[in-house]
Amino acid sequence: NTVIFLDSGSTTLHILESLTLKQNITVITYSLSVLCEAAKYPSLNIIGLGGFFNHSTQSFSGRTVIDELSQLNIHTIFMSATCVSILHGLSNYSFQEAEVKQSVTNSCSRVILMADHSKFGLVGVRSFFPFERLSGIVTDKCPPDEFLPAIRENHIRLLYPGCPMETEDAE
């Protein structure tokens, strides 16, 4: 009984199969790849946001997407990012996609970052969400050491295979 937003990117696709084990999940996305994958699971309710199609990111952007997002109630956002920095937060090289990401994160306080280890320590052209406001991070390897104090201090839940550290205060 929840509404989630799945961002574009290959990492967010991995969550779809596990969602089918739950009841009454509504998935909102602007990603063509996520829409195509989600369509394989009839138990999911799917809302696709349309607009200008960007071939390189396989996602839709523009005023239409942003206007639609402003009218939706989203409980949890599973966000991807091209770059992750403690100082600059989550950022992207695609200005249009970063605009959509910023719009959706303005509507929900529970943001889970899904990014592989190669994204940490980089800064893109446009930042769209502060690192310290993340609720959780799901990644494939432990982030670099300089990220760990910020994760603890901000009570960000950290999950990766074999993770020895999961903040106790995280919800």
Distance CA 104, CA 120 (A): 22
> 29 near 6, Cβ under 8 Å?
yes
Q: pLDDT in tens for each of the 171 residues of the chain?
A: 899 999 998 888 888 888 888 889 999 999 999 999 999 999 999 999 999 999 988 999 999 999 999 999 999 999 999 999 999 999 999 888 999 999 999 888 899 999 999 999 999 999 999 999 999 999 999 999 999 999 999 999 999 998 875 544 444
Q: Helix or strand or coil: residue 21?
A: coil
Paired residues of 4 in beta bridges: 27, 76
Helix and strand numbers, DSSP H then E, in the chain: 5, 12
Helix (H), strand (E) at residue 149: helix 148-153
pTM of the entire structure? 0.91
Can you point out the beta strands (E) in the chain?
Answer: 2-6, 25-29, 45-48, 52-54, 59-61, 76-79, 83-85, 89-92, 111-114, 126-129, 136-138, 157-159
| Assigned token pair, 137 | 């991070």
Supply the pLDDT for residue 163.
82
Tens of pLDDT along 126-170? 999 999 999 999 999 999 999 999 999 999 999 999 887 554 444
Distance CA 158, CA 170 (A): 9
